[in-house]
């Protein structure tokens, strides 16, 4: 199983770095969409399904926290797990992000392993990059 | 009230952390004025209010861009330079404020960026003024706190 990822950050360079880290981590990525802020992200999500969103907080027009609010109001999109990746790393800010629907939180500056760990944990894949349901034995299925 | 010593130590730790972790650049503190080619800045509000500015030589930003993005010098564009500089000041500010006041929430502005050569005077009237070099490429940082 491969996943569609949306990276939201106003820095082209940071989006490139995150994309590269996700790719080399072995994560099975089908497509990677990019948006420069929350507004662009919502526009992309109107026509594209993604399995996980990795978003900055501090962005022009629509911030990462505002993006969380918009996603939570949408019956379909609210199911998409969102990982915040940001310089604003206070405990209070982190709790605020989780309260608004974030499923993971990474502080910048980060090590590549931190992105991999949080991403794999949030989406539910093992260290080998395999989706846990893919590697489950048929005998485990309960009909 | 946070002491000046703690502010300086925290700022230096934050700068080293950001440059080593994200850009693989190892800085050495410098006790002199430097030439810069661009300035990036960010404002913050919260229990403290102020502005942090970074004065960067083109050479140091070139190295930051190459290292962070794994690209060749010929692939560096003006946009890459601006992105890297802004990302650096964003991370320095976030890291500094989080280390200095871990229980507090600060709001950061969107970073500004301006090209322009000049002389960074270390002993300026800023609350804190630091300069660094890395293989003869330079960076200066100022912190201004509002009363």
Each residue's pLDDT tens digit, B83-115: 999 999 999 999 999 999 988 889 999 999 999
Q: Is the ipTM of this complex over 0.85?
A: no
pTM for the whole thing? Answer: 0.87
The contact set of B with A (CB < 8 A) is: 17-18, 21-22, 65, 68-70, 79-80, 83-84, 86-87, 90-91, 93-95, 97-98, 101-106, 108, 110
What angle, rounded to 10 degrees, do the helices at A112-123 and A12-24 form?
70
% of residues, chain B, pLDDT over 90: 79
pLDDT 10s digits, A117-143? 999 899 887 666 565 555 444 444 443
Looking at residues A85-102, what average pLDDT do you find?
Answer: 89
Task: Compute the residue count for chain B.
Answer: 147
Q: What CA–CA distance (Å, rounded) separates B18 from A108?
A: 8
User: Residue B40: which pLDDT band, with cuts at 50, 70 and 90?
Assistant: very high
CB contact under 8 A, B105 and A17: no
Specify the DSSP element, H or E, that contains A3.
strand A3-8
Residues of chain A positioned with their CB less than 8 A from the CB of B14: none
DSSP 8-state code for residue B105: -
Least Cα separation, residue A8 to chain B (angstroms)? 14
Phi–psi pair at A49, nearest 5 degrees = -95, 135
Find the closest chain A residue to B77 by CA distance.
A13
Residues of chain B positioned with their CB less than 8 A from the CB of A107: 94, 98
Of A13, A88, A111, the CB nearest to B87: A13
What angle, rounded to 10 degrees, do the helices at B78-100 and B58-69 form?
90
Tokens 């993005």 belong to residue: B69
C-alpha angle A34-A58-B64 in degrees, rounded to nearest 5: 70
Query: Strands A104-107 and A82-86, how do they pair?
Result: parallel
User: Residue B6: which pLDDT band, with cuts at 50, 70 and 90?
Assistant: very high
Q: Which domains does chain B have, with CATH numbers?
A: 4-146 (3.40.1550.10)
**CB contact set of B22 (below 8 Å; sequence gap of 6+):** A108, A109, A110, B68, B87, B88, B91
Confidence (pLDDT) at A128: 61
Confidence (pLDDT) at B144: 93
Least Cα separation, residue B109 to chain A (angstroms)? 8
Q: Which domains does chain A have, with CATH numbers?
A: 3-131 (3.40.50.2300)
Phi–psi pair at B86, nearest 5 degrees = -65, -40
> Residue A135 is encoded by which pair of tokens?
């590697």
| Contact status, residue A58 vs residue A88, Cβ threshold 8 Å | yes
Least Cα separation, residue A140 to chain B (angstroms)? 43
């Amino acid at each position: 199983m491969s996943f569609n990822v949306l990276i939201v950050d106003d820095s082209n360079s940071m989006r490139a770095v995150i994309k590269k880290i996700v790719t080399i981590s072995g994560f099975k990525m089908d497509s990677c969409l990019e948006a420069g802020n929350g507004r662009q992200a919502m526009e992309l999500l109107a026509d594209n399904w993604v399995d996980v969103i990795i978003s900055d907080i501090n962005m022009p027009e629509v911030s990462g926290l505002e993006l969380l609010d918009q996603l939570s109001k949408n019956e379909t999109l609210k199911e998409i797990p969102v990982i915040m990746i940001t310089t604003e790393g206070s405990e209070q800010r982190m709790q605020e992000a989780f309260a608004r629907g974030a499923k993971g939180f990474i502080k910048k500056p980060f090590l590549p392993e931190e992105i991999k760990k949080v991403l794999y944990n949030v989406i539910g894949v093992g260290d080998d990059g395999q989706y846990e349901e893919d590697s489950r034995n048929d005998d485990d299925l309960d009909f | 009230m946070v002491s000046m010593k703690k502010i300086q130590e925290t700022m230096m730790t934050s700068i080293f952390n950001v440059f080593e972790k994200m850009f693989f650049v190892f800085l050495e503190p410098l006790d002199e004025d430097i030439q810069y080619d661009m300035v990036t800045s960010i404002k913050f509000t919260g229990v403290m209010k102020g502005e942090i500015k970074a004065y960067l030589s083109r050479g140091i930003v070139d190295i930051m861009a190459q290292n962070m993005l794994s690209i060749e010098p010929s692939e560096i564009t003006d946009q890459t330079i601006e992105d890297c500089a802004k990302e650096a000041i964003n991370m320095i500010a976030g890291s500094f404020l989080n280390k200095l006041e871990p229980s507090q929430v600060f709001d950061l502005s969107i970073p500004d960026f301006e090209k322009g050569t000049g002389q960074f005077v270390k002993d300026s009237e800023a609350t804190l003024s630091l300069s660094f070099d890395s293989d003869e490429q330079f960076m200066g940082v100022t912190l201004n706190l509002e009363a």
